Amino acid sequence: MPPISIFIIARDEADRIGRTIAAVRSLSDDIVVVDSGSTDGTQAVAAELGARVIENPWPGYGQQKRFAEEQCRHSWLLNLDADEVAPLELVNEIAALFAAGEPSADAYRLRIAEVFPGEGAPHRFAYALTPVRLYRSDKGRYSPSPVHDRVELQPGTRVGSLKGTIHHYSVRSLGEQIAKLNSYSDAQAEDLDQRGETLSALRLALEFPGNFFKAYIGRRHALRGVYGFMTAMNYAFYRYLRVAKHWERRLQRRGERHEGGPNGR
């Protein structure tokens, strides 16, 4: 097997994590699942498939992935989310990368394309992200950000790209997606506060239409039928909601200052 550790962070993913692990079992003898309090049996599903399951309370996206990195045994790391599946072509490509010894690059970008309910694979024109997901542990670490999970690479790191595509089954239902995005907007509003950033009030008006256009046209959701329209609406509302919550926090702090002033006692 290639000298790769595969790590997955999860919570209540019993219905999805099984196929995620099963797809990559041939790639690694060290599959790590870091669980943050699942109540649906995620831990048992992962353990039955040979993963090492480690419990860790939820600290935030970047911090949890950093914790997971530290549990891995091998020098090369592959990160997957519990709703992502590496198809056989990508698994074979990664195996071939290590077949002749150490790869030529220190980190590799992997294409990730969303699969909507009712689709068996990513749409031909599906929008895709290309983050670093396969990397040497001494060349990169996940950012400690609570809301952004990206690998920060050391200067001079050689970065390559793989041809295969990870299938991202992110949407169980529109309702579940809204609940997840609502929670994520809370975390983003908190992160903006922690970093001392202030977003313009003008964005309250522009965020929804701008991001609907970004998703529906720019990310080609228009080619995905009715579901593409609905998910573009959800994305736009989520982007608006994070700005609205940011402003709500600012207004609440102003009110608290006034209440504590000389005329508010």
pLDDT in tens, 192-246: 888 888 899 999 999 999 999 999 999 999 999 899 999 999 999 999 999 999 9
Alpha-carbon distance of 133 to 139, in angstroms, equals 12
Place of tokens 């202030």: 198
What's the token pair of residue 107? 């980190």
What is the percent of the chain where pLDDT is above 70? Answer: 97
Give, in words, the CATH class of 4-168.
alpha beta
Average confidence (pLDDT) over 114-120: 89
Output the CA angle 211-80-48, nearest 5 degrees: 135
DSSP string, 44-67: HHHHHTTPEEEE-----HHHHHHH
pLDDT of residue 235: 94
Write the single-letter amino acid at 148.
Answer: H
Interval 30-45: pLDDT, tens? 999 999 999 999 999 9
Q: Which of 122-126, 143-147, 243-247 has the highest mean pLDDT?
A: 243-247
Q: At residue 265, does pLDDT exceed 50?
A: no
Contact 61, 145 (CB under 8 A): yes
Q: 0.85 exceeded by the pTM? A: yes
Predicted confidence band of residue 148 (pLDDT cuts 50, 70, 90)? confident
Position 261 confidence tier, pLDDT thresholds 50, 70, 90:
low
Say if CB 108 and CB 135 are below 8 A apart. yes
Looking at the chain, which residues constitute the CATH 3.90.550.10 domain(s)?
Answer: 4-168
User: In the predicted model, is pLDDT for residue 153 greater than 50?
Assistant: yes
